[in-house]
Amino acid sequence: MMTNPGNKVTQGQFSFLPDLTDTQISAQIKYALKNNWAVSVEYSDDPHPRNTYWEMYGNPMFDLKDPAGILMEINNCRKAMPHMYIRVTAFDSTKGWEAPRMSFIVNRPPNEPGFRLLRQERDGRSQGYTIIPYATDRPEGERS
């Protein structure tokens, strides 16, 4: 996968950019708060694109006015889980939306091994493909 040097996982917003600084993260959260979206911090060690539901770090934060509180939670989460992917999600509860409106990664493991491509021989010489993150090679709890 030489088109993605360093195997950086590209999920959510801003993932093709260099990692956001804390000031930039605050500015993004500020935008979410301005729109009255509930911001939450989530973490996971499985970067598979179909892994939608990550673990929540604390409760979603409602009624906040200022991004400082959320940045504090992000930093707490980074300290507790430096080897995990951490993302910030902003949920819009307005009727008709009821969905995350923003989601971006704020922390990555120091080493991102990427994905293994698995080819499956099927009937009639057709082939199926699947990807498996190397990060999940070992059972949960034993991954660093």
Residues that bind another protein (CB under 8 A): 58-59, 61, 63-70, 72-73
- For residue 123, the minimal CB distance to another protein (Å) is 55
- For residue 63, the minimal CB distance to another protein (Å) is 6
Nearer to another protein, 69 or 114 (CB): 69
Q: What angle do CA 86, 73, 83 make, to 5 degrees?
A: 35
Nearer to another protein, 68 or 80 (CB): 68
Nearer to another protein, 70 or 102 (CB): 70
Report the distance separating Cα 91 and Cα 94, nearest Å: 9
